[in-house]
Amino acid sequence: MAEPSVPAEAAEVFARYMHQNPLLSYMLESRRGSARRLSEMISTEDFHGLDLSRFFYGPIGLEYQIAFTLPQQPPRMLGIAISRTGPSGDFDDRDRDLLNQARPYLIQSYRNAIAFEGMRAAIGSEALTAALLSAGLTQREAEVIGLLARGSSNGDLATSLGISTRTAEKHVQNAFRKLGVTSRSQAAAKVWNLVGAEA
């Protein structure tokens, strides 16, 4: 993914020559994820001699790049590259240090997002439904609470389940009573705890 986006034909050119990027080669071989500058890996003259530079980076004016990775299982790699055009100047040590200081937080955020998506996928699972049923909820109440934990409003619940908003509200009230909670946030927390227990 690139921001700003590049035309499809340019993306094809990049895919053809990306193996020439010294940063990518270094990170694949070393499996080190800390931030490195392109200028640390190759001279300007040698960089301009690469097909990657002549056919992709050069036409878009890219001269400078800094990149780092987030942990992935080989052979996959998740990298983030930040690029600058010629007049902007190269990245300096402060830029590199800032990215290296931010990297642990980005890694944790990435791991949290993966865990959250896994838990979201578990909502509605048979194991979670069974846990909610064993807590005394009806099948419909379990469906309602699962949707509520994903952030659905009562109106959204009603639309998703093909029932009236008033009926959805009644199911929410009954489920709250059975779960021993008094708010949407408490109900959601209860569901997330059940998902975590079942995971």
Contact 178, 133 (CB under 8 A): no
Strand (E) or helix (H) holding 18: none
Q: Provide the residue ranges of all domains of the chain, joining segments of one domain with +.
A: 8-113, 123-198
- As a whole number, mean pLDDT of residues 147-161 equals 85
CA angle (113, 118, 123) in 5-degree steps: 125
Contact 147, 157 (CB under 8 A): yes
pLDDT tens-digit readout, 101-130: 999 999 998 887 876 676 666 666 777 788
Q: Which residues contact 38 (CB under 8 A, 6 or more apart)?
A: 21, 22, 23, 47, 64, 65, 66, 67
Question: Which secondary structure element, helix H or strand E, spans residue 127, and what is its range?
Answer: helix 126-134
Do the Cβ atoms of 103 and 35 come closer than 8 Å? Answer: yes
Q: Nearest 5°: phi and psi at 2?
A: -125, 145
Domain at 123-198, CATH class: mainly alpha
Contacts of residue 136, defined as CB under 8 A and 6 or more positions apart, other chains included, come to 178
* For residue 190, pLDDT beyond 50: yes
Give how far Cα 52 sits from Cα of 46, 65, 83, Å: 11, 13, 14
> Residues 55-93: pLDDT tens digits?
999 888 889 999 999 887 777 778 899 999 878 899 999
Q: What is the pLDDT of residue 119?
A: 64
pLDDT in tens, 13-61: 989 999 999 999 898 888 889 999 999 999 999 999 999 999 999 888 8
Residue pointed to by tokens 């052979």: 75
Q: What pLDDT does residue 199 have? A: 46
